[in-house]
């Protein structure tokens, strides 16, 4: 891989790890490990820990994927590694039908 | 119109829609049959993934489980959605860049080994059949209760429909029918939930209605916890499982979700890496709509059950109650012979599931041969009927009841079709084309794919007609095995260039053997010791896949350092899948 591509990969890993950190905190952290502690707080009619484990974590999951998509598309552009429109990535797959791999 | 006629109309309409789509989207090439030609729009793929993923278990069983277990149900809610974050960030874009057809394709090519490919094929087939068996039971339950045909004819009708669009249309047919099925199932799930949410809390959004005040005052969840305490049930907002078990089960479900082949393969169908990323986001939005509503449905159902059933005179029992009793999914044991149903905490009889005998109790109820338990509870309710029965319990209009039946069928059929396609692809592509008969033409391969799909449907149908007693037990296998085998192997294949064939095979075999033996021991060999006293570290068989996965990672890490690195062209392959714009045929 070129230096450019290595830098892209490192930026990707950094982004991924920070998003996975949030993923871990809302689900395993708020929803399981700190469930009882958070349950002493109230969010509308919910106990807070209960809300995280039944709904809150899911809302955060959705946000995480969209943030990832948005940031990755941005990184693709910055590092100039976007897919070009004329190159169809499926050609690789189509070739292999004829026994080439 | 009466509910049964409406159900026939709704189910008939939805089935003709699926057949229509199948005829419109026939597959002509293997590429269309396996990955819909790679031209599926990301939103359509998101909807198809959601329908593919949300099975009879999500639609019919999950809210029922939460209604009875309360807070413990969170393991399914988080586990079956959190897996999509792993899928989107760690697997989907790279597998799309890899641009082949199946999960064994990736394993076989990345690890330059037909042994690894074969292990993967066996896992794919085992996991998928395990799963299909459960879907067919779902189809049977809906048919027998709502259309009053026997379960067998119900299964045969379901098979015929799936046969039609899966064999003709392949992935292309399945994708577009799944989009339609998603619309049917989400509509069917939301409409009764919205009705009931408005009736109880005046909030038209059921997911928020759960946290709202009830019309007669007081927060809904507080009232429910109070009612539950009065009746000796566990409070809805607290659970009974240990923290470590919840942690491990949730992790196993997440990693298992990300490693399930019928979900992964959906990301081969979109046009680009960019589309694969966003498509996972759409899929999760579509799934979250149902999953955030499920706990609301569960809480509403528990309130309505207590309100309508506890203290009811059996002589005045509503129609739905006796119908479900006839189906054997509700049983009432009048312990104090007062003719009044007492709904309390604990199970009403030993063993928990009723075995009916051919006579009537004092009030005309179906008598059982079970022994009564010491507690006051007199009622057995099968968890799987909550979603189906709730609209009737809440006295919603007949068309809503009919809609729910059509939705349950859509959920079961869409998942069954996705799984059957994965099985047929594994046979025609990975076994025939890539392993045993590499010289077959594309036309022959397509023919094998159709034959394999037809045979797989036949076997799935047999599972529905003669349901193996172990269906419920083996679902733990599907997730545990996917978590302990595919997830680590694919992850390391992308994120470690040093990862080689030896490490992958050793890791998969360790993870699989350990997980398989642990589950088999507690489910089949020694089921009487299946409790927290005997589990390792207090981890139940449901959650053991996480430990299997950690073992797989550990073994792989050690073995890859002791064996030679993979060949240069494999390292090149890894470099290629990491960078979206890099031409894919460099090797």
| B84 to A61: CB separation less than 8 angstroms, yes or no | yes
Query: What is the three-class DSSP state of B350?
Result: strand
**What confidence tier does A12 reach under pLDDT thresholds 50, 70, 90?**
very high
Specify if B316 maps to a domain: no
Specify if A69 maps to a domain: yes
Angle between helices B471-484 and B486-495 (to 10 degrees): 20
Specify if B313 maps to a domain: no
B272 and B342: one domain?
A: no
Answer yes or no: is pLDDT of A52 > 70.
yes
B373 and B414: one domain?
A: no
Is residue B358 packed enough to be buried (19+ CB in 10 Å), middle (13-18) or exposed (0-12)? exposed
Residue B202 has which token pair?
């005046």
Q: Which A residues, 12 through 41, put their C-beta within 8 Å of a C-beta on chain B? A: 12, 16, 19-20, 23, 27-28, 31-33, 35, 39
CB neighbour list of residue B267: distance below 8 Å, 6 or more residues apart: B45, B49, B87, B91, B92, B95, B96, B276, B279, B280
Distance CA B385, CA B209 (A): 22
Distance CA A42, CA A52 (A): 11
Question: What is the average per-residue pLDDT within B507-534?
Answer: 86
Identify the residue whose tokens are 């350092």.
B561
Compute how many other C-beta atoms are within 10 angstroms of the C-beta atom of residue A98: 9
B151 and B168: one domain?
A: yes
Domain span holding position B299: 3-304+394-578
Residue after which a domain boundary falls, among B338, B366, B393: B393
**What confidence tier does B238 reach under pLDDT thresholds 50, 70, 90?**
confident
Distances (CA, A) of B492 to B107, B500, B568, B572, B577: 11, 9, 17, 15, 13
Q: What is the ipTM of this complex?
A: 0.89
Is residue B204 packed enough to be buried (19+ CB in 10 Å), middle (13-18) or exposed (0-12)? exposed
DSSP state, B396?
-
Closest alpha carbon within chain A to B242: A32
Query: What is the three-class DSSP state of B357?
Result: strand
Tens of pLDDT, residues B342-354: 988 888 888 888 8
Tens of pLDDT, residues B23-39: 888 777 888 888 887 88
Tens of pLDDT, residues B144-185: 777 777 777 878 888 888 888 788 778 888 889 999 999 999
How close B68 gets to chain A, by Cα (Å)? 14
| Number of helices followed by number of strands (H, E) in chain A | 5, 2
Distance CA B509, CA B28 (A): 38
| B210 to A45: CB separation less than 8 angstroms, yes or no | yes
What pLDDT does residue A88 have? Answer: 45
What pLDDT does residue A97 have? Answer: 37
Closest alpha carbon within chain B to A53: B74
How close B211 gets to chain A, by Cα (Å)? 4
Distance CA B178, CA B571 (A): 37
Residue B178: name the closest of B412, B524, B428, B522 by CA: B412
Cα dihedral B426, B427, B429, B430 sign: positive
Answer yes or no: is pLDDT of B534 > 90.
no
| A93 to B219: CB separation less than 8 angstroms, yes or no | no
Q: Which helix H or strand E contains A47, and what residues bound it? A: strand A46-47
Residue B472: name the closest of B133, B33, B22, B115 by CA: B133
Chain centre to alpha carbon of residue B478: 10
Q: Which helix H or strand E contains A41, and what residues bound it? A: none
Specify if B310 maps to a domain: no
Distance CA B16, CA B177 (A): 11
Answer yes or no: is pLDDT of B304 > 50.
yes
B462 and B559: one domain?
A: yes
Q: Which A residues, 63 through 82, put their C-beta within 8 Å of a C-beta on chain B? A: 64-66, 68-69, 72-73, 76, 80-82
Tens of pLDDT, residues B468-505: 655 556 666 788 888 998 899 999 999 999 999 999 99
What pLDDT does residue B541 have? Answer: 87
Say if residues B158 and B465 touch (Cβ distance below 8 Å).
no
What pLDDT does residue A94 have? Answer: 39
Q: Which of A42, A65, A71 to mutate: most B Cβ within 10 Å?
A: A65
What pLDDT does residue B370 have? Answer: 87
Is residue A24 packed enough to be buried (19+ CB in 10 Å), middle (13-18) or exposed (0-12)? middle
Answer yes or no: is pLDDT of A91 > 50.
no
How close A56 gets to chain B, by Cα (Å)? 9
Tell me the β-bridge partners of B371.
B350
Distance CA B241, CA B244 (A): 8
What pLDDT does residue B30 have? Answer: 82
| B580 to A83: CB separation less than 8 angstroms, yes or no | yes
| A53 to B77: CB separation less than 8 angstroms, yes or no | yes
Specify if B586 maps to a domain: no
| A20 to B89: CB separation less than 8 angstroms, yes or no | yes
B289 and B357: one domain?
A: no
Closest partner residue to A97 among B30, B71, B277, by Cβ? B30
Compute how many other C-beta atoms are within 10 angstroms of the C-beta atom of residue B555: 19
Compute how many other C-beta atoms are within 10 angstroms of the C-beta atom of residue B468: 12
Identify the residue whose tokens are 């986001």.
B281
Specify if B548 maps to a domain: yes
Q: Show the beta-strand stretches assigned E in B240-386.
A: 330-332, 349-350, 356-360, 366-368, 371-372, 379-381
Residue B79: name the closest of B254, B260, B291 by CA: B254
| A23 to B82: CB separation less than 8 angstroms, yes or no | yes
Specify if B195 maps to a domain: yes
Closest alpha carbon within chain A to B241: A32
Q: Show the beta-strand stretches assigned E in B274-431.
A: 330-332, 349-350, 356-360, 366-368, 371-372, 379-381
Compute how many other C-beta atoms are within 10 angstroms of the C-beta atom of residue A84: 10
Specify if A19 maps to a domain: yes
Closest alpha carbon within chain A to B569: A101
Specify if A90 maps to a domain: no
What pLDDT does residue B472 have? Answer: 56
Percentage of residues of chain B with pLDDT beyond 70: 97
Answer yes or no: is pLDDT of A96 > 60.
no
CB neighbour list of residue B259: distance below 8 Å, 6 or more residues apart: B482, B483, B485, B486, B487, B490
Q: How many domains does chain A have?
A: 1
Q: Which of B30, B32, B581, B587 to mutate: most A Cβ within 10 Å?
A: B581
What pLDDT does residue B288 have? Answer: 95
Q: What's the angle, vertex CA B425, arms to CA B421 and CA B428, rounded to 5?
A: 135
Identify the residue whose tokens are 């597998």.
B95
* CATH number where B36 lies: 1.20.1730.10
Query: What is the three-class DSSP state of B366?
Result: strand
**What confidence tier does A92 reach under pLDDT thresholds 50, 70, 90?**
very low
How close B430 gets to chain A, by Cα (Å)? 12
Residues in B touching A96 (Cβ below 8 Å) = 100
What pLDDT does residue B471 have? Answer: 54
Specify if B583 maps to a domain: no
Q: Average pLDDT, whole number, for chain B?
A: 87
What pLDDT does residue B470 have? Answer: 56
How close A4 gets to chain B, by Cα (Å)? 11
B425 and B357: one domain?
A: no
B366 and B402: one domain?
A: no
Answer yes or no: is pLDDT of A75 > 90.
yes
Burial letters B139-169, b for 16+ CB under 10 A, else e = bbbbbbbbbeeebeebbbbbbebbbbbbbbb
Specify if A76 maps to a domain: yes
Residue after which a domain boundary falls, among B351, B372, B393: B393
Residue B6 has which token pair?
């409406």
Question: What is the average per-residue pLDDT within B221-244?
Answer: 86
What pLDDT does residue B50 have? Answer: 93
Question: What is the average per-residue pLDDT within B446-461?
Answer: 87
| B292 to A20: CB separation less than 8 angstroms, yes or no | no
Q: Which of B46, B99, B575 to mutate: most A Cβ within 10 Å?
A: B99
| A73 to B274: CB separation less than 8 angstroms, yes or no | yes
Residue B541 has which token pair?
């068989």
Q: How many domains does chain B have?
A: 2
B367 and B512: one domain?
A: no
Identify the residue whose tokens are 């099968």.
B382
What pLDDT does residue B559 have? Answer: 95
Is residue B489 packed enough to be buried (19+ CB in 10 Å), middle (13-18) or exposed (0-12)? buried
Answer yes or no: is pLDDT of B117 > 80.
yes
SS3 sequence of B471-512: HHHHHHHHHHHHHHCHHHHHHHHHHCCCCCHHHHHHHHHHHH
Residues in B touching A27 (Cβ below 8 Å) = 78, 82, 250, 254
Distance CA B15, CA B19 (A): 6
DSSP state, B338?
S
Domain span holding position A55: 3-81
Question: What is the average per-residue pLDDT within A89-97?
Answer: 40
**What confidence tier does B198 reach under pLDDT thresholds 50, 70, 90?**
very high
| A5 to B582: CB separation less than 8 angstroms, yes or no | yes
B342 and B446: one domain?
A: no
| A58 to B81: CB separation less than 8 angstroms, yes or no | yes
B337 and B478: one domain?
A: no
* A57 touches B: beta carbon within 8 Å: yes
Residue after which a domain boundary falls, among B393, B420, B435: B393
What pLDDT does residue B190 have? Answer: 94
Specify if B498 maps to a domain: yes
User: If you count residue pairs, one on A and one on B, with CB atoms under 8 Å apart, how many are there?
Assistant: 179
Closest partner residue to A47 among B207, B237, B575, by Cβ? B237
Chain centre to alpha carbon of residue B578: 31
How close B240 gets to chain A, by Cα (Å)? 12
B496 and B550: one domain?
A: yes
Cα distance from N-terminal residue to C-terminal residue, chain B: 66
Tell me the β-bridge partners of B219.
B213
Closest partner residue to B89 among A16, A89, A97, by Cβ? A16
Tens of pLDDT, residues B378-419: 999 888 888 888 898 888 998 998 899 899 889 888 888 888
**What confidence tier does B281 reach under pLDDT thresholds 50, 70, 90?**
very high
């Amino acid at each position: 891989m070129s230096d450019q591509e290595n830098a892209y990969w490192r930026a990707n890993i950094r982004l991924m790890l920070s998003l996975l950190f949030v993923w871990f905190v809302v689900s395993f952290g708020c929803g399981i490990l700190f469930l009882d502690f958070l349950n002493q707080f109230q969010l509308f009619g919910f106990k807070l820990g209960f809300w995280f484990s039944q709904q809150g974590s899911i809302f955060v999951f959705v946000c995480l994927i969209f943030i990832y998509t948005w940031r990755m598309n941005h990184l693709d552009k910055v590092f100039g590694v976007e897919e070009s429109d004329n190159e169809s990535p499926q050609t690789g797959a189509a070739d292999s039908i004829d026994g080439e791999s | 119109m009466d509910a049964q006629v409406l159900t026939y109309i709704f189910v008939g309409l939805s089935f003709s829609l699926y057949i229509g789509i199948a005829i419109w989207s026939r597959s002509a090439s293997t590429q269309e049959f396996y990955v819909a030609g790679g031209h599926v729009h990301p939103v359509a793929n998101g909807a198809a993934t959601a329908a593919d993923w949300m099975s009879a278990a999500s639609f019919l069983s999950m809210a029922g489980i939460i209604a009875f277990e309360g807070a413990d149900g969170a393991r399914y809610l988080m586990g079956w959605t959190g897996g999509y974050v792993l899928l989107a960030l760690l697997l989907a874009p790279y597998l799309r860049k890899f641009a082949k057809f199946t999960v064994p394709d990736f394993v076989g090519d990345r690890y330059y080994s037909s042994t690894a490919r074969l292990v993967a094929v066996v896992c794919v087939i085992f996991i998928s059949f395990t799963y299909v068996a459960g879907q067919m039971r779902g189809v049977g339950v809906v048919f027998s209760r709502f259309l009053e045909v026997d379960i067998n004819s119900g299964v045969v009708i379901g098979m015929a429909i799936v046969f039609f669009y899966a064999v003709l249309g392949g992935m292309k047919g399945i994708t577009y029918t799944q989009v339609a099925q998603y619309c049917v199932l989400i509509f069917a799930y939301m409409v009764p939930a919205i009705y009931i949410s408005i009736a109880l809390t005046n909030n038209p959004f059921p997911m928020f209605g759960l946290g709202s005040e009830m019309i007669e005052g007081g927060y809904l969840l507080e009232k429910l916890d109070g009612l539950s305490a009065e009746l000796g049930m566990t409070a809805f907002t607290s659970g009974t499982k240990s923290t470590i078990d919840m942690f491990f089960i949730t992790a196993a479900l997440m990693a298992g979700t990300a490693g399930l082949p019928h979900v992964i393969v959906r990301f081969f169908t979109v046009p680009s890496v960019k589309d694969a990323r966003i498509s996972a986001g759409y899929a999760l939005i579509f799934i979250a709509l149902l999953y955030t509503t499920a706990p609301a449905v569960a809480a509403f159902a528990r309130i309505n059950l207590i309100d309508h059933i506890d203290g009811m005179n059996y002589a005045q029992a509503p129609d739905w109650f006796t119908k479900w009793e006839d189906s054997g999914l509700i049983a009432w044991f009048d312990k104090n012979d007062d003719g009044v149903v007492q709904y309390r905490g604990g199970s009403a009889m030993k063993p928990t599931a009723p075995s009916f005998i051919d006579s009537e109790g004092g009030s005309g109820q179906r008598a059982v041969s079970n022994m009564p338990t010491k507690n006051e509870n007199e009622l057995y309710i099968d968890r799987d009927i909550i979603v189906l029965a709730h609209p009737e319990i809440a006295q919603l209009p007949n068309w809503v009841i009919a809609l729910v039946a059509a939705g349950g069928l859509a959920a079961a059929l869409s998942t069954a079709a996705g799984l059957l396609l994965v099985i047929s692809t594994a046979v025609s592509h990975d076994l025939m084309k890539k392993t045993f008969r590499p010289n077959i033409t594309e036309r022959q391969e397509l023919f094998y794919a159709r034959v394999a799909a037809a045979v797989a449907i036949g076997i799935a149908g047999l599972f529905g007609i003669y349901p193996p007693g172990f269906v419920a037990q083996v679902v733990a296998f599907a997730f545990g095995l996917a978590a302990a085998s595919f997830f680590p192997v694919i992850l390391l294949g992308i994120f470690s260039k040093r990862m080689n064939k030896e490490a992958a095979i050793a890791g998969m075999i360790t993870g699989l053997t350990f997980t398989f033996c642990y589950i088999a021991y507690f489910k089949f060999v020694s089921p009487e010791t299946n409790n927290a006293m005997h589990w390792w570290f207090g981890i139940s068989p449901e959650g053991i896949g996480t430990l299997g996965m950690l073992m797989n990672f550990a073994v792989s890490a050690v073995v890859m350092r002791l064996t030679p690195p993979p060949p240069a062209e494999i390292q090149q392959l890894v470099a290629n899948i990491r960078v979206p714009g890099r031409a894919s045929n460099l090797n």
